[in-house]
Amino acid sequence: MSGEFGGKVAVVTGGSLGIGRAVVERLAAGGAAVVFCGLDEESVRAAETQLRDKEHDVTGVVADVTDAAQMNGLVGLAVERHGGLDTVVTCAGIQRYGTVEDTTEELWDEVLGVNLKGVFLVCRAAVPELRRRRGGTIVTMSSVQAFASQDRVAAYTASKSAINGLTRAMALDHAADGIRANVVCPGSVDTPMLRWAADLFRGDTSQDDQVAEWGRAHPLGRVARAEEVAELVAFLAGPRSSFITGAEHRVDGGLLARNPAALPEV
């Protein structure tokens, strides 16, 4: 019960890997009871075992964020096991590549289903439970690509921009219930998803070299660690951010601060 989240209950989607895994650990280390989901059973069980070995109160569930019944069940499990719900963090997400010309309907539906519909479904299930606690927090995971897109990521960029808009809408709609909603927009983060992308584009270089190359695009000269993003999530999920809602928070190593039209060296 000790810590800033002592006595609190959180649900985290996409919590077995990457940013989601770091968020689960950060909230649990702060005293929260965390129920998280992932799509891959092996990674869910591994994360659950590792975090329980650290004496964290976590429960891992294999669940698909695009399935309404499974998201209702995820939230229901948290309430049944711990008596209520205080925080929802939506970290489930996928990256796919393509322009609007070569993106198939199936690919579009896959990306928008996981990245956007998944946020909608878990938040729809969670809001009544947050209201019963007379307030709570929602933290959604977006991307800097909600503001400035790469090439060939039409579906991904569309999904992340929509998450920002959905989060603003939830912040307004549920402010009177004491529910705050904020969105986190990371730059490049060293996660399994980034490593997967690095393998796609590394050519003759190594995976590590490609990740380092992407890191050099950030003024701080590297990609982020998942734990650094989790710290911002913890701030927004907790009482220290009590007057912040409906806001977009970049954690991008200065990536979007830079104008690419640099001055010549003198």
Catalytically active residues, by annotation: 156
What single-letter DSSP state applies at residue 114? Answer: I
DSSP result, 176-198: GGTEEEEEEEE--B-SHHHHHHH
* Of 190, 171, 196, 169, nearest in space to 181 by CA: 171
Nearest-angstrom CA–CA distance, 172 and 256: 26
Q: Of 180, 182, 184, 183, which is closest to residue 242 (Cα–Cα)?
A: 180
| Torsion angle of C-alpha atoms 142, 118, 37, 69, degrees rounded to 10 | 170
Measured CA to CA, the distance from residue 146 to residue 206 in angstroms comes to: 28
For residues 139 and 89, the answer to whether their CB atoms sit within 8 Å is yes
